[in-house]
Amino acid sequence: MVLITGGLASGKTKYAASRFGCTITDGASCNFDEIWDAECISHYHQLVERMLAAALDPLEITTRLCSKNPDAVILMTEIGCGIVPIEKNERIRREMCGRCGCILAEQSDEVIRMICGIPQLLKGGASR
pLDDT of 13: 96
DSSP letter string, 75-99: EEE---SSSPPSSHHHHHHHHHHHH
pLDDT of 70: 97
Is residue 73 within 8 A of residue 104, CB to CB? The reply is no
Q: How many CB atoms lie within 10 A of CB 122?
A: 14
- Position 128 in a domain: no
Torsion sign across C-alpha atoms 18, 23, 28, 33: negative
pLDDT averages per 10-residue partition of the chain, 128 residues = 96 96 96 97 97 97 98 94 83 93 97 97 77
- Position 93 in a domain: yes
pLDDT of 85: 76
Q: Which domain holds residue 81?
A: 2-123
Number of domains in the chain: 1
- Position 17 in a domain: yes
pLDDT of 31: 96
- Position 46 in a domain: yes
pLDDT of 126: 58
- Position 87 in a domain: yes
- Position 95 in a domain: yes
pLDDT of 122: 96
Q: What CATH number corresponds to the domain at position 96? A: 3.40.50.300
pLDDT of 114: 97
Q: What is the pTM of this model?
A: 0.92
pLDDT of 80: 79
